[in-house]
């Protein structure tokens, strides 16, 4: 097993030969043969246990003979089919035969309980009882039969599953030795991981022990694997258990604990991996065995956002969705999450052919190739964008196209205004003209009291979108959504830090006190889609970002996660704030207030939006600034966005 590109690559599991197709009658015959045999054996043995060997001394010999030789054969003829029918009604024949879990056992117990209840009640309802009565099954026989049936049925299914997993695991296991691992976290994720690894030996990992902070679990076992104590026992694992890897199966909000355990494991020469979150597992996107190294995202300490999937699905399902900037890191994740919710068409627009191609291939691999349409287009090209809107007629537009790199835009403000402001205004106007239901602008916290050109251009984009809400005859609901830095996105500090660490350092940080709000890409995009369902039109929404993190702390944590020591193995070097950067980003403009929405992590700003009547004049002034020299352009931008404080060299 090797680690590459931040992912753990395991050997592919060999594919079993395709099973021949089995018709419904063949399937029914097979199940009747198996379950009928077990039911008959159970009932036969119940009579033997109850009446044979002199067990009941008070019963006359002729009564015993009546039960055994007269009633028992007739009982087999109606009780066995009764159990078979009830098992079928409880869904026992719809599942794959060699897959059997707790819910299958519970349904089986329910069906057998119903059968036993019928057997017990029939003598009273029919009035037939006695050793020669077909329906008069003794209560003691019925109860013994219930226990025997449950034991035989469940035991047989569990045995089939166990044998299959054992032989399948042995067949798929590589001849090399298994790596012995310890699982930190004896909860649901840890249990599922252990179960999958034990069932599929081909992963090359053998769990030998659990570690958990809950002292009540110490000394217990999960799937035969002992819970030996707290994670502080990590230093002894290599010598005592031969452990070479530690897998963390901890809740997403355990950021501090993940950091402590990772540092302890790394200090003792143990490689650290992490299991996907329960949210990812429940969503079906990954399996428990899709392991990866611990990342900075795991250290945010933010519980996963709970989304209203029904509302998002209703907004997206069966509709045409257009995403601009589809090749960017945010745009690609928007496309992925939209594609998973069943749109009629997904129109992917980007001016970069290479990025758009990669986004297209990723969605094809996801199984969404039939609904996607990638289009190379520039959002500032009016003729091309009119053609796109006329041909596709979208119901929802998610506008993520933007120039977002602060230092790069600072010396060329005209390009930021052209793409971020004029491009947004054009796409918003086309959305209104074509009566798009919803338009969502992906904005940024840098638009709040901006100190850089990028933030000021995005603030003007917000103003244009708000003004478009008042366009005569408009039916589109326009919403702008602000959020902060996204971990791992294009241009974020994390990829830069990783590259610097791989080169041996130094890791460059602008200032020891600079702080930023961080979110993961999937969380940010999920909340953007949630915001689209809640916007009332003309709104500016902001996502709850948690507590800001010092960039220097992020850098040091990433160095530690890479197995090095900050300022010892890898230098952390301060290089000074770049043009237009703040020490701490803000959440609202001066005098701007916000209120809560139906979602705990989404807030709505209460502010007077720009009037549509002034939009044409505003855009004309922006166009006039685009070709101007840098300093003049910034001063003109200051007139349009009074809260903007331009950086002057």
Q: Which residues contact 393 (CB under 8 A, 6 or more apart)?
A: 320, 434
Select from 488, 586, 605, 597 the least CA-distant residue to 538: 605
Residue 573 annotated as catalytic: no
Strands 225-229 and 292-293: unpaired
Cα dihedral 593, 599, 601, 605, rounded to 10, equals -20
Query: CA geometry: angle at 347 spanning 344 and 350, to 5°?
Result: 165
Q: How far is CA 206 from the centre of its chain?
A: 26
Three-state secondary structure call for residue 560: helix
Q: What is the 3-state secondary structure (H, E, C) of 495-518?
A: HHHHHHHHCCCCEEECCCCCEECE
Q: Long-range contacts of range 16-22, CB-CB < 8 Å, 24 or more positions apart?
A: 16/168
Q: Which residues pair with 367 in a beta bridge?
A: none
Select from 586, 519, 503, 506 the least CA-distant residue to 552: 506
Q: Which residues contact 320 (CB under 8 A, 6 or more apart)?
A: 343, 344, 345, 346, 347, 392, 393, 394, 395, 396
How far is Cα 330 from Cα 441, in angstroms, rounded to an integer?
Answer: 12
Beta strand residue intervals within 391-526, DSSP E: 396-399, 438-442, 477-482, 485-487, 507-509, 515-516, 518-520
How far is Cα 176 from Cα 584, in angstroms, rounded to an integer?
Answer: 52
581 contacts 452 by C-beta, under 8 angstroms: yes
The angle that helices 453-468 and 630-640 make with each other, rounded to 10 degrees, is 40
Strands of 225-229's sheet in order across: 221-222, 225-229, 205-211, 179-184, 245-248, 271-274, 292-293
Beta strand residue intervals within 564-629, DSSP E: 572-574, 593-596, 602-606
Element of type H or E holding 292? strand 292-293
Q: Which of 446, 458, 582, 634 is catalytic?
A: 446
Write the CA distances from 168 to 201, 227, 323, 436, integer angstroms: 8, 27, 44, 53
- Annotated active-site positions, please? 446
């Amino acid at each position: 097993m090797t680690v590459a590109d931040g992912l753990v690559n395991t050997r592919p599991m060999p594919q079993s030969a395709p099973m021949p197709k089995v018709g419904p009658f063949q399937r029914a015959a097979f199940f009747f043969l198996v379950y009928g045999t077990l039911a008959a054996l159970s009932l036969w043995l119940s009579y033997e246990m109850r009446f044979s060997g002199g067990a009941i001394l008070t019963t006359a010999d002729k009564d015993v003979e009546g039960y055994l030789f007269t009633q028992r054969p007739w009982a087999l003829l109606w009780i066995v089919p009764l159990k078979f029918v009830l098992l079928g009604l409880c869904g026992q024949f719809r599942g794959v035969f060699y897959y059997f879990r707790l819910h299958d056992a519970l349904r089986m117990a329910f069906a057998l309980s119903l059968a036993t209840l019928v057997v017990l009640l029939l003598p009273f309802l029919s009035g037939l009882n006695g050793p020669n009565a077909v329906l008069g099954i003794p209560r003691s026989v019925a109860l013994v039969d219930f226990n025997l049936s449950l034991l035989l049925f469940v035991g047989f299914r569990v045995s089939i599953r166990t044998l299959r997993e054992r032989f399948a695991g042995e067949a798929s296991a590589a001849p090399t030795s298994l790596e012995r691992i310890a699982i930190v976290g004896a909860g649901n994720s840890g249990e599922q991981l252990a179960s999958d690894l034990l069932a599929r030996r081909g992963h090359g990992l053998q769990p030998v022990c659990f570690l958990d902070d809950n002292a009540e679990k110490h000394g217990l076992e999960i799937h035969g694997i002992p819970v030996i104590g707290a994670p502080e026992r990590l230093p002894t694992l290599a010598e005592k258990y031969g452990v070479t890897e530690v897998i963390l199966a901890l809740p997403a909000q355990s950021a501090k604990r993940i950091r402590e355990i990772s540092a302890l494991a790394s200090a003792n020469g143990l490689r650290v991996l992490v299991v996907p979150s329960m949210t990812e597992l429940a969503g079906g996107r990954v399996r428990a065995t899709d392991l990866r190294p611990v990342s900075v995202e795991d250290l945010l300490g933010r519980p996963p956002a709970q989304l209203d999937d029904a509302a998002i699905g209703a907004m997206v399902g069966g509709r045409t969705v257009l995403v601009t900037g589809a090749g960017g890191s945010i745009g690609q994740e928007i496309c992925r999450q939209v594609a998973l919710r069943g749109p009629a068409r997904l129109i992917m627009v980007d001016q970069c052919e290479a990025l758009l191609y990669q986004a297209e291939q990723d969605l094809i691999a996801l199984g969404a190739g039939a609904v996607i349409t990638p289009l190379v287009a520039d959002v500032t090209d009016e003729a091309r964008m009119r053609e796109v809107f006329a041909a596709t007629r979208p119901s929802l537009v998610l506008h993520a196209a933007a120039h977002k790199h602060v230092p790069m835009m600072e010396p060329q403000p005209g390009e930021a205004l052209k793409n971020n402001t004029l491009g947004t205004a054009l796409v918003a106007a086309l959305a209104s003209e074509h009566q798009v239901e919803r338009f969502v602008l992906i904005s940024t916290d840098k638009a709040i009291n901006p100190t850089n050109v990028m933030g000021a251009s995005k603030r003007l984009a917000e103003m244009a979108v708000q003004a478009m809400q008042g366009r005569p005859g408009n039916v589109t609901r326009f919403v702008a959504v602000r959020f902060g830095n996204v971990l791992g996105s294009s241009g974020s500090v994390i990829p830069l830090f990783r590259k610097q660490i791989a080169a041996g350092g130094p890791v460059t940080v602008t200032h020891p006190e600079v702080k930023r709000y961080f979110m993961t890409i999937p969380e940010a995009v999920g909340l953007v889609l949630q915001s689209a369902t809640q916007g009332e039109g003309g709104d500016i929404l902001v996502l709850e970002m948690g507590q800001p993190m010092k960039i220097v702390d992020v850098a040091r944590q990433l160095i530690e996660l890479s197995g090095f020591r900050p300022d010892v193995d890898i230098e952390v070097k301060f290089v000074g704030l770049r043009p237009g950067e703040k020490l701490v980003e803000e959440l609202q403009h001066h005098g701007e207030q916000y209120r809560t929405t139906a979602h705990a992590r989404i807030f709505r700003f209460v502010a007077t939006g720009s009037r549509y009547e002034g939009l044409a004049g505003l855009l004309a002034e922006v166009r006039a600034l685009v070709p101007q020299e840098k300093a003049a352009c910034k001063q003109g931008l200051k007139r349009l966005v009074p809260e903007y404080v331009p950086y002057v060299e």
